[in-house]
Amino acid sequence: MLKELEALTQIVAREKLARKRAEQLLAEKTRELHVKTSQLEAAADGFQAVSSLLSEIMDVAPDMIITCDENFRIISGNAMAQRHLRQNEQALRKRTVDDFLPGLSAELRRRRPGPFFIENRRAARHNGDSFPVDIRGYVGPIGDRIRYLIFFHDISQRVNAEIKRKQTESQMDEARRLEAIGALSAGIAHEVNTPIQFVGDNLDYLEEGLINICNSYQHYDALKVAVAKLGYCPEEVAKVDEFNQSVNLTNLIEEIGAALRESRDGVKQVRDIVILMKEFAHPGTDDKDEVDVNAIIKNVLAMCKNRGKNTADIEANLDPDLPRVRCRKGQVQQVFLNLVINAIDAVDEAGKGRGRIEIETSAEDDYVQIYMSDTGCGVPETLKQKIFDPFFTTKPVGKGTGQGLALAKDTIVKGHGGKLTLVEKDGFATTFLIQLPLKGELQQPLIDTDADTDTESDDDIIAA
C-alpha cells in the first residue's frame, strides 16, 4: 500500500513538472505570439502608410498615370488622368487604353518587356477633343501578372510654343521680305522717276510745239484762202487742198493733241505711283506729325486699286472738313493698308460676285473715326473675340501669319491711344471702326505675343 502511494506521489510530481513546463512553454509562445502580432500590426501600419503615400503621390503627380491589365483594360487612373480625360475612376475602369489613344495597344504588344517611350501622340477625350502627349511607361510583370504602367505627359504648352516660334519666324521672314521689297521699290521708284521726268518734259514740249504748229497752220490756211480768192497759183492751192483732204489734217491735229493729253495723264499716274512707292518704302520715323487721314486713305486706295479692281467697288466717303490727327503716318498707313487688303480678300473669298467696300471718315467726340466696311464673308460669332489675338488667322497656311489685326490693334490702341473695334453696320458683313484721338500722347506700340487669348473684352464688339 505504501509502495502504491509512493508511486502515485511520483506520478503526481511528474504531472506537476510537466504542467509547469507546459505553462512555461505556453507563456513563452504567448510572448512570441504577442511580439509577432505587434510586428504584424507595425507592418500593417507601415503598409498602410506606404499605400497612403503612394496614393497621394499618384494624386499629386503632374503626369497622367494609368495601369492596364494584359488586355489593356484600365485598372486605375490617377487624379491627373481623371482630370485630363474627364472621366472618374469608375468610368475609366470600364474603358481600354485604346479609347483614349487609338492603336496604342497594338503598338505596345509589339514591344519587348521593359520601359518604353512614344513621342508626340494625340490623346482623345470622350467628347472628341484631343491634346498632344508624350508617352512613357513599363510593360512586364507587376505582381503575378503582366501589366502596363503608362505615363502621359501633356505637351500642349511645348507644341503651342513651337507653333508660335514657327509663326514668329514666318512673320520675321515676311518682315525681311517686305523690307527687301521696300528697298527694291525705293530703288525702282528712283530709277523710274528720272526717265519719267524726261518723258513728261518732252510731252510738255511736244504739246507746246503742237499748239505753235496749229497757230501757224491757221495763219497758213488764212493765207491759202486769200491766195485762192485772188486766183494766184491755182494748181499749187489745189494740190495743198488735195493733200489736206487725204490725210484729214484737221482731225489728225486734234487726235495728236488728244494722244499727247492722254500720254501726259498716263505719265502723271506713273509719277503718283512712284511717289506712293517712295512713301511706303520710307514711311518716316517714330516722330509724330499732324497728318491728313483722308490723304492717307487716298494713297492706300491708289495702292490697292489694281488688286481690287476685279473684286469690289470701293467707295470713299471722306469728310472734307476732317481735322488733322497727330500720329505716326507710316504706322497708321500700314494699318489702313492691312484692313483694305483684308476687305478685298474677304469679298473675294465670299464668292458672291462683285462686292462693295466702303470707307467713311468723320470727326466725333474728340476722335477722328474711320469706318471700313465690306460685303465679304463676315466674322462668325464664335470668332469675334479672337480676331485680335496674336497668331490667330482664318487664312490657309502660308497665306497669313495671324499678326495683321493684332499688330493693327497694338498700333492704334497702344501706339496712339485710340480704338480698333469690330462693329455692325447695315448692308455690310464686316465693319471695323478705327478711332484716333485728336489730342493725346503717343506711345511706342509693343505687341505682347504671349498674351492670354481669352482676355478680349466684350467692349470690342459693339453696334454702330
Local confidence band at 402 (pLDDT 50, 70, 90 cut-offs):
very low
Q: Does residue 15 form part of some domain? A: yes
% of the chain with per-residue pLDDT over 90:
11
Q: Does residue 162 form part of some domain? A: no
Q: Does residue 160 form part of some domain? A: no
End-to-end Cα, the chain, rounded Å: 134
Residues 79 and 44 in one domain: no
* Beta carbons within 10 angstroms of residue 327's beta carbon: 26
* CA contacts within 13 A on the Cβ side of 366: 5
Local confidence band at 393 (pLDDT 50, 70, 90 cut-offs):
low
Residues 298 and 149 in one domain: no
The pLDDT of residue 396 is above 60: no
The pLDDT of residue 227 is above 60: yes
- pLDDT tens per residue across span 54-81: 777 777 778 888 888 888 898 888 888 8
Residues 231 and 354 in one domain: no
Residues 250 and 130 in one domain: no
Instruction: Give pLDDT, residue 78.
Output: 86
Instruction: Give pLDDT, residue 464.
Output: 34
Residue 344 sits in which domain range? 286-464
Full-model pTM: 0.45
Residues 252 and 140 in one domain: no
418-428: average pLDDT: 90
Residues 411 and 464 in one domain: yes
Residues 122 and 14 in one domain: no
The pLDDT of residue 180 is above 50: yes
Angle value at C-alpha 433, between 427 and 437, nearest 5 degrees: 150
Q: Does residue 163 form part of some domain? A: no
Tell me the CA distances in angstroms from 87 to 61, 67, 94, 95, 183, one per residue in order. 17, 15, 10, 10, 58
Q: Nine-digit cell at 94?
A: 470600364
- pLDDT tens per residue across span 283-342: 555 567 788 999 999 988 888 887 888 889 999 999 999 999 988 887 888 888 889 988
Residues 314 and 456 in one domain: yes
Residues 220 and 318 in one domain: no
Tell me the CA distances in angstroms from 64 to 61, 131, 170, 334, one per residue in order. 7, 13, 34, 47
Of 128, 158, 135, 126, the residue nearest 63 (C-alpha): 135
249-256: average pLDDT: 79
- Residues whose CB falls within 8 Å of the CB of residue 291, separated by 6 or more in sequence, listed in order: 324, 325, 326, 327, 329, 332
* Secondary structure E strands in 55-157: 64-68, 74-77, 114-124, 130-142, 145-154
Last residue of a domain, one of 92, 122, 154: 154
Residues 38 and 149 in one domain: no
Residues 388 and 455 in one domain: yes
Exposure string over 20-52, b if 16+ CB within 10 A, otherwise e: eeeeeeeeeeeeeeeeeeeeeeeeeeeeeeeee
Q: Does residue 161 form part of some domain? A: no
Instruction: Give pLDDT, residue 398.
Output: 43
Question: How many structural domains compose the chain?
Answer: 4
